[in-house]
Homo-oligomer: A and B are copies of this chain.
């Protein structure tokens, strides 16, 4: 539940984290957009999806940020007093779900696209992963907006089924394809899967906080901070690792491209 009041410190913490997410997502998207020519065309689809994911997340955090600013106000001069919920507007938790409905399937598309598998394998994997990701988010929503812990637990459980299926595809089905990736990128791709597991794991924990009877304004602030950090890891940091994979694979595929790109990094020879 959204707390009735926040202390100035709590208010500032949420405010600063929400703003941090906007900066992280927006400028990861800008960085990747400028960096597109630094990878081969065959990997640009993956990075284009990454740019779109970070852009969508930045858009939604602008909305979440505005919703937060409108939802809590203080009567005291200079923002020294507690913040209370404003009349006429509520903080809209639903935005996060709208964001995830669009971005979570796309995060899996990013991962599969950068692997550059045979088209038939790629299509088969995505036909399982994308609907599972959408279903996971859709099933979480009724639990999130419900005040009833039973409903929250039930939908949390239902939403875990597609999540487990996604983990099965990524950690079992995908392992064979990973073995065929160039040796230089295999370790990075392994780390990427664990980053996905770690950052996606934050969401169910935050979701379950009310079931553990951890309530009150502190729990709510922790939840906002947790979601914010998880969104930075799962989208911006994840996108940067995908870019690194795309660049390593570009060098591996095309030595001429590698020579041109890498010679740039050296000091020009003085004669």
Contact = CB atoms under 8 A, between A and B. Distances in A.
Contacts of A22: 59
Question: Main secondary structure on chain A at its contact with chain B?
Answer: helix
A150 to B, nearest CB: 18
B56 A31 contact: no
A42 interface: yes
A90 B82 CA distance: 12
A89 B98 contact: no
Interface string A61-80: 00100000001011111111
Contacts of A9: 145
Interface stretch (A187-195, A197-205, A206-214, A259-267): A259-267
A36 interface: yes
B34 A265 contact: no
Contacts of A261: 41-42
A95 B38 contact: no
Given A41-B260, A42-B261, A260-B41, A55 B27 contact: yes
Interface string A111-152: 000001011000000000000000000000000010000000
Interface residues of A, number: 78
Nearest to A115: B264
A23 B119 contact: no
Contacts of A23: 56, 59-60, 98-99, 102
Given A31-B48, A35-B45, 4 more contacts: A15-B92, A42-B264, A77-B86, A78-B91
Interface of A: 2, 4, 8-9, 12, 15-16, 19-20, 22-24, 26-27, 30-31, 33-38, 41-45, 48-49, 51-52, 55-56, 59-60, 63, 71, 73-80, 84-92, 94-95, 97-99, 101-102, 116, 118-119, 145, 180, 182, 252-253, 260-268
